[in-house]
A = this chain, B = another copy of it.
Amino acid sequence: MGKENIGEFEELILLLILKLKEDAYGLAIRKALKNQAERTVTIGAVHSTLNRLESKGFAESYLSEATDKRGGRRKRLFTITASGKKALEKSRDLKVSLWTSIPELAVNKI
């Protein structure tokens, strides 16, 4: 892949980071994957993809502070970068354009 292309699982996770806003970290993303995308994967799969997204510059991470809730250790929270958002938009535009040109797949209203 030419560096600017994004895999399908990477894209899914990037979308979920955006959707989860202030609460985008490994386990929460895994849960969202299950609930909102019917995709059950191990936590290792999520984390290695997150790392890859970060090293490609599509996402960034930082450690959260206080642990207010029970259990657990500091969370590594993720945010999307401008480059990541651009990749998502590009992907969306291409899909919309293709669907529109294929009657069998065209989306009427969203």
Q: Could you say which of B15, B96, B101 contacts A19, with CB atoms under 8 Å apart?
A: B101
Which residues of chain A have a CB within 8 Å of any CB of chain B?
A: 5-8, 11-12, 15-16, 18-19, 36-37, 39, 85, 88-89, 91-92, 94-102, 104-110
* Interchain CB contact under 8 A, A88 and B105: yes
The closest CB in chain B to the CB of A37 belongs to: B94
* Interchain CB contact under 8 A, B92 and A99: yes
Taken together as a complex, chains A and B put the C-alpha atoms of A95 and B105 apart, in Å, by: 13
User: What residues of B have a CB within 8 angstroms of the CB of A102 in the complex?
Assistant: 15, 18-19
Taken together as a complex, chains A and B put the C-alpha atoms of A22 and B67 apart, in Å, by: 60
The closest CB in chain B to the CB of A40 belongs to: B2
* Interchain CB contact under 8 A, A92 and B105: yes
The closest CB in chain B to the CB of A6 belongs to: B8
User: What residues of B have a CB within 8 angstroms of the CB of A94 in the complex?
Assistant: 12, 37
* Interchain CB contact under 8 A, B98 and A15: yes
